[in-house]
Amino acid sequence: MAEKSFKYVIVGGGVAAGYAAREFAKQGLKPGELAIISKEAVAPYERPALSKAYLFPEGFARLPGFHCCVGSGGERLLPQWYKEQGIELILSTEIVKADLAAQTLLSAAGEVFKYHVLIIATGSTVIRLTDFGVQGADSKNIFYLREIDDANKLIEVIKAKKNGKCVIVGGGYIGLELGAVMKMNNFDVSMVYPEPWCMPRLFTADIAAFYEGYYANKGIKIIKGTVAVGFTADANGEVKDVKLKDGRVLEADIVVVGVGGRPLMTLFKGQVEEEKGGIKTDGFFKTSVPDVYAVGDVATFPMKLYGDIRRVEHVDHARKSAEQSVKAIKATEEGKSIDEYDYLPYFYSRSFDLSWQFYGDNVGDTVLFGDNNPTSPKPKFGSYWIKNGKIVGAFLEGGNPEENKAIAKIARLQPPVEGLEELKNEGLSFACKI
């Protein structure tokens, strides 16, 4: 097959690709210089919508409504926009081999793509129960949510199994957001996870108690401290039961699994330096290979604020790292310099009428403040994390935009605190006066 050659190639068509494309257009791009190669069939879109409004029973989100870059308040980049910018969108194309030394990519269909500069934006893939040989994990109607195709299949089955039983396996982001959305679709929902509380990587026991109480009040059954060890299927091969390690058996018409992801780096194994489970980069997202950059979920980068190196799986970092890499590429070409990436970790979630934001680092002592009663008509509460006498992280449920900005500001400024008791009493007003 004929070779195609581009000055810049982005491999991966997720959030990072959309934001990188917009930055390239902003910085100046000649027609035909940039290609985005994606195994998905659609132009880059805001992936978080899939576990939220995309699955709503009414007022749901659909493409083209959430193409990049609407998630951060930017314009919507429709397929037409890429054409107008002279950017080649190469969709439904899976890259199966990457030769970084030869600056060549090979697709499953045998197409060869040459590049001068490569941005690796392959993101993560979900961890599947079939990977661990869980009995019956290949039954029909067991879902994972990563791409729009996954969400479309789930919507079909939600319609077919109307008012049925749903078991959510996992108590993290996907588990909590899907638990809410399945309840909104009038399913009988049970959530199962092995940890002592939900979202353990971020939440304290106090924070988690609120969400577990709120979900229980909505009629969601929460089963902690055990795991799914097997599934049984009916004569059509559709899941009907979930067997738990503690011996319980849950009926299920639909199972949704959200037990984490793995960065997609197989193509580049042995060709780039790795660290902490990701591709090692500097503060400009340059890898150990000249003219190869890695962004988003796959990048392990210097976290300037904390003086260490980390890998971050979140849409906010995917957007910002993509923009940073393009600025760095253009600065290098023009012999200019830009500032190193200085990222403040940011996580958020929305479910039911709830909406929380977190900024900074969740290490050290914690102080809980506000009204965290799950039965309150408008609960509003938060938490600070304190290390070495300074606030390093802040969480807020039910905040308005100004209050969320205030907790972001103190997470970055890390102000000293006198005593935990005073901080507890001051609560949110401490952040708002800084």
User: What DSSP letter does each residue of 347-381 carry, written as one string?
Assistant: EEEEETTEEEEEEE---SEEEEEEE--TTSSS-EE
pLDDT at 2: 75
- d(C-alpha 16, C-alpha 200), whole Å: 27
- Same domain as 102, residue 32: yes
Pick the last residue of a domain from 334, 368, 397: 334
- Same domain as 315, residue 249: no
The total domain count for the chain is 3
- Same domain as 148, residue 60: no
Tokens 């308040």 sit on residue: 73
Phi, psi of 424 (to 5 degrees): -60, -45
- Same domain as 181, residue 103: no
* Structural domain contains residue 339: no
Tokens 């035909």 sit on residue: 32
* Structural domain contains residue 139: yes
Pick the last residue of a domain from 223, 239, 259: 259
- The domain that contains 195 carries what CATH number? 3.50.50.60
- Same domain as 150, residue 226: yes
Tokens 């049984």 sit on residue: 232
- Domain boundaries, position 181: 129-259
Burial of 285 (0-12, 13-18, 19+ CB in 10 A): buried
* Structural domain contains residue 342: no
pLDDT at 434: 86
* Structural domain contains residue 59: yes
User: DSSP assignment of 34-75, as one string?
Assistant: EEEE-SSSS--B-GGGGGTGGG-SSS---TTTTBTTGGGT--
DSSP state at residue 416: B
Tokens encoding 228 = 């799914």
* Structural domain contains residue 340: no
Distances from the Cα of 428 to the Cα of 221, 367, 391, angstroms: 32, 11, 13
**Selection from 421, 415, 152 nearest residue 432 by Cα:** 415
Phi, psi of 293 (to 5 degrees): -115, 150
Q: How many residues comprise the chain?
A: 434
Plot region of 32 (φ>0 → left; ψ -120 to 50 → alpha; else → beta): left
- Same domain as 294, residue 357: no
Pick the last residue of a domain from 259, 288, 311: 259
Q: How many CA atoms lie within 13 A of 51 on its CB side?
A: 23
- d(C-alpha 276, C-alpha 121), whole Å: 17
pLDDT at 205: 98
- d(C-alpha 129, C-alpha 170), whole Å: 11
- Same domain as 411, residue 320: no
pTM for this prediction: 0.97
- Same domain as 135, residue 252: yes
- Same domain as 229, residue 204: yes
Question: What is the DSSP pairing of strand 95-99 with strand 221-224?
Answer: unpaired
Tokens encoding 389 = 């006498």
- d(C-alpha 429, C-alpha 79), whole Å: 45
- Same domain as 170, residue 254: yes
* Structural domain contains residue 347: no
- Same domain as 255, residue 142: yes
* pLDDT tens series, the chain, 434 aa: 679 999 999 999 999 999 999 999 999 999 999 999 999 999 999 999 999 999 999 999 999 999 999 999 999 999 999 999 999 999 999 999 999 999 999 999 999 999 999 999 999 999 999 999 999 999 999 999 999 999 999 999 999 999 999 999 999 999 999 999 999 999 999 999 999 999 999 999 999 999 999 999 999 999 999 999 999 999 999 999 999 999 999 999 999 999 999 999 999 999 999 999 999 999 999 999 999 999 999 999 999 999 999 999 999 999 999 999 999 999 999 999 999 999 999 999 999 999 999 999 999 999 999 999 999 999 999 999 999 999 999 999 999 999 999 999 999 999 999 899 999 999 999 999 98
In the chain, the N- to C-terminal Cα span, in Å, equals 61
* Structural domain contains residue 41: yes
- Same domain as 252, residue 134: yes
- The domain that contains 422 carries what CATH number? 3.30.390.30
